[in-house]
Amino acid sequence: MRITDIKTHLPVGLLRLTTDSEVEGWCLGVSEEVARRIQTHYREVLIGADPFDREAIWQELVRLDRYAYVPHTVRGIVDVALWDLAGKLTQLPVYKLIGGFRDRLPVYRSGGNLEKVSEYVEDAVRSKVEGFFGYKDHCKRGPDTMAAVARASRDAVGADFCLMHDAVQQYTVPEAMRLGRTLGEQSYYWFEEPLRDYDLIGLKKLTDALDVPIAATEYLPGSIYSTSQIVGQSAVDIVRASVPWRGGITDMLKIARLAESFGMSCEITSTGIMNGFVHAHVIGAIKNCTFFEGWHLGSLGGEPVIENPLEIADGHVNVPQGPGLGVELNWGEVEKATEVVI
């Protein structure tokens, strides 16, 4: 079994790894820039390779990234297509090929950067009513407003509903420390990206001092090699991982296993590419991730190109059961949305 060609349909963003069999591996969500970089830097490695030599390919692409200054996203997209291909070739859903842990994933709802405290409270309450298992804000109104949001939200949703705060790297250490005390008092489930992911010393200070778990590394470059340095120093309580910013499915599995070895959770960011399909399979194959991250009830999108979009209902997403990542494409729609094939 050999990989024979790499094609990307644009602007629809479908990467196809074709083989000398009928079977292809896919990844959706590919930009023109990424598609060109794949052809420029990776083509030589991929053409003629056995798609089951995934680890050899991963190692080689990591090596090439250093020389060609390729962002992790590019490698991540290729890795996703390789896993899709392996699943289809073995007639197994990707999470079962890895080794399944669960079929059904509890979901929390991510909300936006809203104006007033009362809007956050309403958003949290609505998430609870809609059946989500938790609510995460992206409040960028400063630590004092956020402290008010935390108190009012906890008051409104009661003790048994998970609340998380994602600061997207906006605080100084003293601000994060002060707010972290309040989040701890309000039993927040985690406090995400309080500082820059690079600020190892600051993160460690917070992790040592605060009761609320510190979650970080969603944006950190360096895949497993940088995550290990943060984990090994106990500079976070929870690591974050996602495709494609941190690499591919292989990167996420390695990061999750690294975290597991240290008794840490690896909370997967479910936004990114492929409308939840990739993240559902990864969370389905690991124990140390609590939730799937969703934005609203119903379809996770991708129509009309994706014929079987994932859906959030009853607070859950089901892991797709088809071979590979389980995406069913409408080829008519793919062609309609294709102006050029690279």
Partner 1 sequence: MIIKDMKFYIREGPPQKRHHSSVGRATIEKVPPGLSGLFTHSAGFRDNSVTIEDKRVAADALCMEYTDEEESPTYTSMIRLVTDGDFDGYAHFGSGFNATEVEWAAKEFKSEIVKLLLGIDVFDREYIFQRLWYAQRFFYTGRKVIDLVDRMLWDLASRYTCLPIYKLLGACRERVPAYRNIGGATIDDHVASAHKVKELGFKGCKDHSYRGVKGNTELAKALRDAMGDDFILLHDPVESYTYTEAVQIGRELEKLNYMWIEEPLQDYDIMSLKKLCDHLDLPVLTLEWIGHLGGQPYQTAPYIALGAADIVRQRGVGITGSVKQAQLAESFGVQVHGGDPHTILACSNDPIHEATGVFPRPPDEELDCLGTTVVEDGWLSIAWRPVRPPEPDWDQIERDSITVV
- Return the bridge partners of 67, or none: none
- Nearest approach in angstroms of CB 149 to partner 1 is 35
Among positions 89-128, residues that touch partner 1 (CB under 8 A) are 90-92, 96-102
- Nearest approach in angstroms of CB 99 to partner 1 is 3
Of residues 88 and 128, the one with the C-beta less far from partner 1: 88
- Binding of partner 1 at residue 55 (CB under 8 A)? yes
Of residues 96 and 109, the one with the C-beta less far from partner 1: 96
Among positions 284-323, residues that touch partner 1 (CB under 8 A) are 285-287
In whole angstroms, give the CA distance from residue 100 to residue 17: 25
Of residues 91 and 113, the one with the C-beta less far from partner 1: 91
- Nearest approach in angstroms of CB 339 to partner 1 is 34
What region does 142 belong to: left with phi over 0, alpha with psi -120 to 50, or beta? Answer: left
- Binding of partner 1 at residue 236 (CB under 8 A)? no
Of residues 89 and 157, the one with the C-beta less far from partner 1: 89
- Binding of partner 1 at residue 254 (CB under 8 A)? yes
**CB 177: neighbour CB atoms within 10 A?**
17
Q: Is the alpha carbon torsion for 224, 190, 284, 9 positive or negative?
A: negative
Under 8 Å between Cβ of 28 and 274: yes
In whole angstroms, give the CA distance from residue 130 to residue 132: 6
List the one residue from 6, 28, 231, 241 that touches partner 1 (CB under 8 A): 231
Among positions 65-94, residues that touch partner 1 (CB under 8 A) are 86, 90-92
- Binding of partner 1 at residue 253 (CB under 8 A)? yes
Total count of residues recorded for the chain: 342
- Binding of partner 1 at residue 20 (CB under 8 A)? no
Of residues 109 and 254, the one with the C-beta less far from partner 1: 254
- Binding of partner 1 at residue 11 (CB under 8 A)? no
- Binding of partner 1 at residue 224 (CB under 8 A)? yes
- Nearest approach in angstroms of CB 232 to partner 1 is 4
- Residue ranges that bind partner 1, judged by CB under 8 A: 50, 52-56, 58-59, 86, 90-92, 96-102, 224-225, 227-228, 231-233, 250, 253-255, 257-258, 260-263, 285-287
